[in-house]
A and B are shown apart, each in its own frame.
Chain A
Amino acid sequence: MNAKKAYQKQNIFRVLKILSYLAGYPLCMVLLLQAAYASGFGTKGYAVEILLGAWVLVTVVQIVMTLITKSFSARAVSVSLVSIVLLLGFSVYFDVTGPKQLQSIAESYVRDYKQLGEGDTVTLQEEDGYYVAEVLLEGEEETFTVKTDIYTYDKCLAEIKPWSGGGSIAGSIGSLEGRFCSVYNIGGSSRGSDNTDGSEVGPAREKRDGSGELEYWFGETGDVYSENGLYNDAYIPGTNQAIEILLTIYHTQAQYKEMGKDADEELEKALLEVESSREWLDYVASEEYQSVYGEGGTAYKYMLTEERMDDLLAALIPGIFEAESISDLLGIATTFSGSIQTYVDAFKQVKSVDDAIAALGTLGLSVDKQQIMDLVNSLAWYQMPSVLPKMYFIEDDDLRTYAYAKYYAEDHGATVGSVLYAEDQENGKIGKITMSDSGVSIKDNAFSEEDMYKIRANRLYGNFFQKMLARRYAYYFAAFTALAFLFAYFFGYKQWMNAVIVKKAAGIPVKR
């Protein structure tokens, strides 16, 4: 061979080698990144990670093969084989497990929604691209059908467009949860780990009865519990916890309705029973409780107590009646009704809660101190994180769990601005209720059980659609990358061959 020609060929083969390599994984990654970005999965998503992982593995194999053999053909074949095995292996594995994952989501939805037991049988069928379940209850002979919104695997595949990915399908599945979070003013995941009194927040502790069970309700996610087993003061539930709380409320109410009872009335009765129970009375008398809610207890630093109410009234009332503009206003008011002056005189004397009760009496309003303090406590009661709440002592398990659910949905929700439930189903408000937001109507916006089960099922998809996108590109590029490697090594070999000829001819020592 002419050495000059070899020199020219060497450069041509070098370029061809690089181009061949670029036509494999680099091209695959560029197209996948574009698709992942266009689909809304983001370029740091799972789909990219899968193929990037395969590329890294193949590169490691390339390095290892370079170290152990000088044979171009051995390197080319082994690297191509590994690449094919990785990409096809993942795709085939996903094709095998994907339908099972969808079936499991569909079955989970049906079992969850219909509250099926282990003995009940669910048989899934495909109908117009959706899974439909035939349910046979234990001990019964007739089945009934439950339609689901879960796509079959083939329909999912059809929805993932070749070059744009599956963003739309994933988006439509996520939109229901998005609306749920918006209505209840929560996030997808729970957050917050802080107590007002600075006490520690951590994982659920063991129950005090020594049973070894953990003291928690509605799912344990992270370090979120106070010492008394309640969520910490700053806790804002995520989708899963909010659904669990709401389903507990709905189910308990339905359960008591079936028995011809009202769950709220039963809860009230149970709390009254607790108040007179030996357990509760002993607990109230204990040092643990008294040091917090007894005389001079630590909880009152964070509460509006009667003493603080007295101070407040003593500062507020004289100020009001001494203000010139307010005197003018009252002067105008007395021209409408002479009796107003009597009320004014009565209220001018107010310096404490007792005075206020007396002054309200002149208006014909009969209230006692307990009513006033109940009203104040409904707004400014502080449940100390170290003290067990009264509902802890309810004996009936269902009612106790119901009490906790209501506490989180209503009381805790009102404190953190995420009200989950309102007893008044006609006019009640839920969601973001703050000083400047009045929430949304429960009647028009509350999520049905069915929707919540759908959200729960949808959360099982996880990275399914990203894997599906990765699968599509893995299938496309399994052959391409292998071919690209074969060509790259072939051209590399030709380049090397010509380089040796050229160097030998030019008398340049060849590196060994």
Chain B
Amino acid sequence: MKVFKAILRVLLHLIAYPAMVALILYLNWDIIDGQFVNYGIFTLVGVLIAAVMMLVFYIFYPIITRKKSKKSKLCQTVCVILIPVLSLAGLWAGCDRYLPDFISDATSGTISYEDLAENNWKTRAQVNADLINDFIAMNVQIGTLPFPIGMEEEEEVIQYYQTVGLDTEIEVLVEEECPYKTINELLAIQYQSIDGNGYTAFTDPWIGFANGGRLTIPCLIHLILDKRTVNPKKVDLESPAVQYTENDDGTITVDQVLFATYDEENGLYLADWQWTVLDMTGENTELALGDTLKGVKVLGEMTIFDLIQMVYGLNDDLIPNVLNDVSMIIADEDIAGSEIYIQYDSETGNLALVPANTARGVHGYMKMAWLDSNGLIYALVTLFSVRNVFIAFAGWIAFIMLLDAGLRGVCKDEKQRRKKYLAQLDAAVKPQAPVEPEEEEERVAIPVTPAPLSGCKVSNSLSDIQRMNRERIERQIAQDPYGNVYRGYNVRDFYR
């Protein structure tokens, strides 16, 4: 029976904490499998927290339930149950209260608590996996991640870089003496450029307006015309991509923040690129001009739209070529400083301004900032992956520990304690047959173990009358081992 109980207890324990850790490992497996190579320990945060919780429990469990413990088994069980309840459910009760504000502050409002809570962490994990995979794909396509020797298919190369690991030195990059040897180094250079030379170099409040859906014409003009300054504190001065001058007064002026690029003539190199505000949003800006183009007549009844359609009919490459050339002209340093591609929808007549992000192999600013902190975001994602499991397992483990307590003999123990305690009462109130003086002394001398009763306090500030009363009653008790004195007795008499 003892062996059976022991086996049963082991099984119960296995379906408590170990099962929880296993479940969290299972839920996080896709992230660990796909991103451990890139973000290492950050992808294990959820599993590690679960493991730490298990460790904490199994450190305290043997201490609390040790045989020498003075606590009753019932009391031990309550303590044991408190550990999962407080550490699992309690942890998330606190997190649910304070994490929303913290996450919002830490990510400048770009990621909210709702984006991660419940099962949204899975979506977020996918978004971030896509971000890095797309970044790699874009850079393979534009040549900043060259084809390794022996690979010719683009898909194959993309897959190679997506699995090689962000911090792994890439042979072909080392051989070509690139300014970056790993994907992470490339990412750092590109992010530094879009951040230091882009987002933080734009003047406030205009960049905030542009990113907050308030890109008006005056706002755009400010972002194009206002002089930009690179803040030395926003760039890594040790980076090969940053060129700076130390002034006589000790201050630093950043001259250039270079950007990794590739062309057939020069191969891989660092160049000075300017960014436009559209590159910061990384999204197309639709200009709903269709109605205007269809409404303005230029030649008799012919509208601008008709004219464009006619040109399309004559040469369908011409309009796209014109728009392409215009974007090259705009890229002049004296105009926008960077290409802004113009897309024309020949059906509706609408135009869209397309940023140069994809052509340069980078996402918009916000996504690049996420990518730069992807490790921390994965830590956050995997932390949220334990939320529901912790909350559910807090109750489950409490239940398991109750069963475990049953097997540890908590009921039997309670019964015995009660019995023992009542026996003490019996001994105290039982009538004693012919009372010999020695026996009387012996009876009085029975060692009494204080029972863990609580909740009652007797005042120590008694008046003289109360003290006299109490002493009188105590004398009566001593003279009346049958306990008859209690009949009709009111405890308030103590203090009367």
Docked pose: A315 CA to B268 CA in angstroms: 29
Docked pose: A417 CA to B212 CA in angstroms: 10
Q: Is the CB of B450 within 8 A of A415?
A: no
Q: Is the CB of A512 within 8 A of B460?
A: yes
Given contacts A304-B225, A436-B287, A505-B483, contact A379 B209 (CB under 8 A): no
Q: Is the CB of B325 within 8 A of A324?
A: yes
Contact of A506 among B214, B311, B425 (CB under 8 A): B425
Report if A311 contacts B (CB, 8 A): yes
Given contacts A304-B225, A380-B225, A434-B213, contact A506 B421 (CB under 8 A): yes
Q: Is the CB of A234 within 8 A of B208?
A: yes
Given contacts A70-B459, A380-B218, A416-B209, contact A332 B453 (CB under 8 A): no
Task: List residues 485-503 of chain A with CB under 8 A from any CB of chain B.
Answer: 492, 495-497, 499-503
Contact with B along A462-485 (1 / 0, CB 8 A): 000000000000000000000000
Q: Is the CB of A319 within 8 A of B329?
A: yes
Report if A301 contacts B (CB, 8 A): yes
Docked pose: A433 CA to B217 CA in angstroms: 9
Given contacts A325-B321, A380-B225, A506-B448, contact A14 B455 (CB under 8 A): yes
Given contacts A312-B334, A414-B218, contact A2 B486 (CB under 8 A): yes
Q: How far is the CB of B142 from chain A (nearest CB, A)?
A: 23
Q: Is the CB of A416 within 8 A of B453?
A: no
Report if B8 contacts A (CB, 8 A): no
Q: Is the CB of B494 within 8 A of A508?
A: no
User: Closest chain B residue to A419 by CB distance?
Assistant: B216
Task: List residues 206-256 of chain A with CB under 8 A from any CB of chain B.
Answer: 233-234
Contact with B along A318-357 (1 / 0, CB 8 A): 0110011110110010001000000000000000000000
Q: How far is the CB of B33 from chain A (nearest CB, A)?
A: 39
Given contacts A380-B221, A435-B220, contact A501 B322 (CB under 8 A): no
Q: Is the CB of B428 within 8 A of A234?
A: no
Docked pose: A504 CA to B494 CA in angstroms: 12
Complex interface: chain A residues within 8 A of B448 (CB): 506-508
Docked pose: A510 CA to B315 CA in angstroms: 105
Q: Is the CB of A325 within 8 A of B288?
A: no
Looking at A3-11, A46-54, A111-119, A281-289, the stretch in contact with chain B turns out to be A3-11
Contact of A1 among B215, B322, B451, B489 (CB under 8 A): B489
Complex interface: chain B residues within 8 A of A196 (CB): 203-206, 222, 226
Q: Is the CB of B486 within 8 A of A320?
A: no
Contact with A along B454-496 (1 / 0, CB 8 A): 0111111100000000000010010000010011010100110
Report if A145 contacts B (CB, 8 A): no
Complex interface: chain A residues within 8 A of B326 (CB): 320, 323, 326
Q: How far is the CB of B479 from chain A (nearest CB, A)?
A: 14
Contact of A501 among B213, B221, B457, B491 (CB under 8 A): B491
Given contacts A10-B453, A196-B205, contact A1 B218 (CB under 8 A): no
Complex interface: chain A residues within 8 A of B174 (CB): none
Q: How far is the CB of A287 from chain B (nearest CB, A)?
A: 24
B interface, how many residues as a size bin?
A: 35 or more
- Total A-B contacts with CB atoms under 8 angstroms apart: 189
Q: Is the CB of B285 within 8 A of A505?
A: no
Docked pose: A233 CA to B214 CA in angstroms: 13
Complex interface: chain A residues within 8 A of B314 (CB): 332
Contact of A508 among B220, B286, B450 (CB under 8 A): B450
Q: Is the CB of A500 within 8 A of B456?
A: yes
Q: Is the CB of A301 within 8 A of B424?
A: no
Docked pose: A438 CA to B204 CA in angstroms: 24
Report if A511 contacts B (CB, 8 A): yes
18 residue pairs from A and B, CB less than 8 Å apart: A6-B486, A7-B422, A70-B459, A323-B329, A324-B325, A326-B325, A326-B326, A332-B311, A332-B315, A336-B299, A380-B222, A414-B216, A416-B209, A418-B214, A432-B214, A436-B288, A505-B483, A507-B446
B residues engaging A (CB < 8 A)? 203-206, 208-209, 213-222, 225-227, 285-288, 299, 311, 314-315, 318, 321-322, 324-326, 328-329, 332, 334-335, 353, 421-422, 424-426, 428-429, 446, 448, 450-451, 453, 455-461, 474, 477, 483, 486-487, 489, 491, 494-495
In the A-B complex, the 6 residue pairs with the smallest Cβ-Cβ separation, listed nearest first, are A234-B205, A499-B456, A325-B321, A417-B214, A319-B329, A512-B460
A residues engaging B (CB < 8 A)? 1-4, 6-7, 10, 14, 70, 192, 194, 196, 233-234, 301-304, 308, 311-312, 314-316, 319-320, 323-326, 328-329, 332, 336, 379-380, 382, 414-418, 432-436, 438, 492, 495-497, 499-512
